[in-house]
Amino acid sequence: MVAIAVAVMRDLFAIVMLFGIYSLLTAGIFVSLDAVDVAFTEAAVGAGISTILILSTLALTSREEKKSTHSRFLPLLVVLVTGATLVYGTLDMPAFSDPQAPVHQHVAPRYLDQAQQETGVPNIVTAVLASYRSYDTMGEVTVIFTAGIAVMLLLSAFRHREDEAGNLNDLSHHPVLKYVARLMIPFILLFALYVQFHGDYGPGGGFQAGVIFAAGFILYGLVVGIDKTRSMFSDSVLRWLMASGLLLYIGVGVVTLLLGGEFLNYNVLAADQVKGQHWGIFLVELGVGITVTATMIAMFLAFSEVRRPE
Amino acid sequence: MISSHLPVLQVILPLIAAPLCVLLRRSSLLWLLSFSASLGAMVIAWLLLQQAGSSGVISYILGGWAAPWGIEYRIDTLNAYVLLIVTAISSVVLLAAKKSIEQEVPQQHWPMFYASYLLCLTGLLGITATADAFNVFVFLEISSLSSYALISLGRDRRALTASYQYLVMGTIGATFILIGIGLLYMLTGTLNMNDLAQRLPAVAQTKTMLSAFAFLFVGISLKLALFPLHLWLPNAYTYAPSIVSAFLAGTATKVAVYVLLRFIFTVFGADYAFSVLPLAEILMLLGVAAILFASLSAIYQDNIKRLFAYSSVAQLGYITLGISFLSVSGLSATLLHLFNHALMKAALFMALACLLYRQGGVKFSHVKGLGRQMPWTFMAIVIGGLSLVGVPLTVGFISKWYLILAAIEQGHFVLVAIILFGSLLALVYVWRIVEQGFFSASDDHTDVKEAPLSLLLPTWLLVLANIWFGIDTSLTVGVAEHTAHWLLELPAPVMPGATP
């Protein structure tokens, strides 16, 4: 229902809000499917950060969608064909929650049975993300790093000069907002640290923690003033943070190479396998957290400092 | 010890250099770091090709977890060959990059420009080296995002629209690929390509597998700019900075072709892929359409960059046509043209970078009568153009030769005529440039000088490679024939230079 509303409506502001609701609903579905980690990410990224980023973009453009000049026939046809293929594909798929489905029979059982013993991490999702498929996660951090660079490259050309006062997103004249937000920010940051370092045991990890941490600073920027946040994070500080998180992740891999193991084989980091895994996962998650935090703040600042085209 | 880690170092080397670039400022340092990372990657690719040729498939398990639980890199002659193409083009292009970038890209963007370039290289190498289906998607995202950023840096404001257009099409493509991989995982419970190949035959009858294949095919075709899904390509290549056009034209679509080959032949298996869908007919028809329509469009362009971009779409038509024959000579033609077309287009786009450096534009009006002022640049365009046409003693001839051979083997004489007609069309559009350059008098450009040596040398390096590999074909034909046999599961001839 929400998705249909989004497709039909023309008021972009309302669409963004509906997207937030859509993400929260999706997160709810994920929870009911027992995928708590995914739900957590969806709520933090889909409903949280991306809503803020799209809103900052809206501040630069107009609120109403322009009438499309293209014919609507071709897109509709593509969507219908894609949808039909998807439905066709589901006709034969293994039944929902069937324990005999291939997904539950082949690779997953080893993760479920041995992850704790092999990696010492009770949260299997973290074990798979940060150890078994750690190389993919390194790729994902690189994707975020790339996205950050792309946004900074695109928007830095349009940045307004510092003497131009007045900010669109500045809410500092609302006293209630300001005090409530100021009360909340320390707890948001504390919660982010908890998510970062407790990812081994409960849902969470570097991605979610980074986003929440960044959200704290973004909230601060919104209520106290963008320039205050900017004075904490200059462009070069953000660049250093973004690069160092990624380099920390790759660096762990290089160290394992030098110690004689395969790339990102944490076992060689300590004499005891579980201890080595513990260190490896801790360090790469820290790298993820740093890069994600810095990239999110960099994106937010880049968006909010763009000159509004006359 | 190092030699056993080569597969991962191949990808990691440019990946480490990318964040380091963000921290540097000086143009010469940035260039030195990027160039040495790319050159190092090229040496590694060369060593890997030797290893794969002599001792067969090299497997490397990342994180020390055996596949399918962990992620595996598998290097065989097919992807080692593609790795070599990508790194070689990237290195030669970077050799010339410094001057061209200093002129075309604002100074504040240099660090991030080089970082994006290296990230794009990392992405392309990662896609090629991996044997894990999801890992393909992750690195595809890296290469796509960075190429959107690179294209948007063109001086023309239309570069932004071109980049956005590519972003929309590319994202649809990537999503389709992801859906396909997701469906495959649902069916088999694994993401490792080798493991998939073993487990897929058991579920070959399901509709889910058919739709997975359809999603993957369409998604990859979008990235490959297969006609009629090529609409993003001409704008992207036209408005991107010259260095980026040369790099992407030589590498990005080649890697997409590789992914298509990988999924058709080693994951789904040629028997499945060519029987559930009329794949041979689809590839043949679309290939022919690409050759004819894109070559015709190229003739009517007045921007030379756009002209060669349309020509690229046509050349991709030859490449897919080669796959459609499903024969050793057809696949050899495809593999040869991957290498040869990369050489031609990189050489041509580099020559255009020389023109752009002096003239600030590459429309026909910019090059009128320039043949006398910039003789070396124009000779490079002429030789590159002749190679595009397929004149003997150039690489273009070798790939056309194998393609025609494959068509004759199967009695498709109409296709032979179409391939020859395509060459004729190429001759027409190359001639238009020559005519403007040499036989059209203009008084406006008398004070224009030849391009600087740092741009000309790499351009001519590529031009000479066009001739060298047109005469000495032992490397390219050797690898291509070996790999074509291997893809079709026929007994492979021993690769030249390989020690048994």
Residues A208-234: tens digit of each pLDDT = 888 888 888 888 887 777 777 788 888
Q: What is the ipTM of this complex?
A: 0.89
Residue A93, Cβ neighbours under 10 Å: how many? 16
pLDDT less than 50: residues of chain A:
161-167, 310
Total count of residues recorded for chain B: 500
Q: Which residues contact B145 (CB under 8 A, 6 or more apart)?
A: A143, A146, A147, A150, B119
Which residues of chain B are within 8 Å of residue A94 when distances are taken between CB atoms? 186-187
Looking at residue B153, what is its pLDDT?
87
Tell whether A147 and A290 lie within a shared domain: yes
Whether B145 is covered by a domain: the verdict is no
Looking at residue A163, what is its pLDDT?
41
Looking at residue A310, what is its pLDDT?
44
Identify the sign of the CA torsion A180, A186, A189, A193: negative
Containing domain of residue B401, as a range? 278-500
* pLDDT tens profile B302-331: 888 899 999 999 999 999 999 998 888 889
Tell me what percent of the residues of chain B surpass a pLDDT of 90. 33
- Is the peptide bond prior to B68 cis by the omega test (within 30 degrees of 0)? yes
Mean pLDDT confidence for B346-357: 89
Whether A205 is covered by a domain: the verdict is yes
Cβ-contact B64, A280 below 8 angstroms = no
Give CA–CA dist B44/B47, Å, rounded. 5
- Whether the pLDDT of residue B135 is over 50: the answer is yes
In chain B, the number of structural domains is 1
Looking at residue A267, what is its pLDDT?
83
Which of A91, A244, A257 is closest, CB to CB, to B5? A257
- Whether the pLDDT of residue B124 is over 60: the answer is yes
Q: Which two tokens stand for residue A171?
A: 């809410």
Whether A49 is covered by a domain: the verdict is yes
Looking at residue A166, what is its pLDDT?
47
Per-residue confidence band for B498, with pLDDT thresholds at 50, 70 and 90: very low
Looking at residue B143, what is its pLDDT?
93
Whether B291 is covered by a domain: the verdict is yes
Cβ-contact B134, B228 below 8 angstroms = no
Which residues of chain A are within 8 Å of residue B119 when distances are taken between CB atoms? 142, 145-146, 149
In chain A, the number of structural domains is 2
Measured torsion, CA atoms of residues B25, B460, B442, B157, in degrees rounded to the nearest 10: -40
| Average pLDDT of every residue of chain B | 87
A55 against B219, higher pLDDT? B219
pTM (2 d.p.):
0.90
Whether B141 is covered by a domain: the verdict is no
The dihedrals phi and psi of B268, each to the nearest 5 degrees, come to -80, -30
Looking at residue A18, what is its pLDDT?
81
Cβ-contact B265, B487 below 8 angstroms = yes
Whether A103 is covered by a domain: the verdict is no
Whether B3 is covered by a domain: the verdict is no
Which of A92, A239, A261 is closest, CB to CB, to B206? A92
Identify the sign of the CA torsion A307, A9, B178, A213: positive
Looking at residue B181, what is its pLDDT?
92
Whether A218 is covered by a domain: the verdict is yes
Whether A295 is covered by a domain: the verdict is yes
Nearest CA in chain A to B163: A154
Looking at residue B1, what is its pLDDT?
58
Q: Do B149 and A86 touch (CB under 8 A)?
A: no
- Whether the pLDDT of residue B471 is over 80: the answer is yes
Tell whether A277 and A145 lie within a shared domain: yes
Mean pLDDT highest for which of B29-43, B67-81, B274-288, B348-362?
A: B29-43
CA distance to partner chain B, nearest, from residue A172 (Å)? 32
Helices B133-152 and A134-156: crossing angle in degrees, nearest 10, is 10
Whether B264 is covered by a domain: the verdict is no
A224-228, B13-17, B246-250: which has the minimum mean pLDDT? A224-228
B46 against B442, higher pLDDT? B46
* pLDDT tens profile B101-113: 888 888 888 888 9
Looking at residue B175, what is its pLDDT?
92
Helices (H), B25-109: 27-55, 77-104
Q: Which residues contact A66 (CB under 8 A, 6 or more apart)?
A: none
Tell whether A242 and A124 lie within a shared domain: yes
Tell whether A24 and A147 lie within a shared domain: no
CA distance to partner chain A, nearest, from residue B88 (Å)? 23
Containing domain of residue A47, as a range? 1-64
Which of A94, A111, A140 is closest, CB to CB, to B138? A140
B496 against B220, higher pLDDT? B220
Looking at residue B177, what is its pLDDT?
93
Q: How far apart are the first and last CA of chain A?
A: 37
Q: Do B15 and A142 touch (CB under 8 A)?
A: yes
Per-residue confidence band for B247, with pLDDT thresholds at 50, 70 and 90: very high
Mean pLDDT highest for which of A6-20, B240-254, B363-377?
A: B240-254
Tell whether A201 and A269 lie within a shared domain: yes
Closest-CA residue to B27 (of B94, B123, B87): B94
What three-state secondary structure class fits A306? strand
Tell whether A14 and A159 lie within a shared domain: no
Tell whether A12 and A154 lie within a shared domain: no
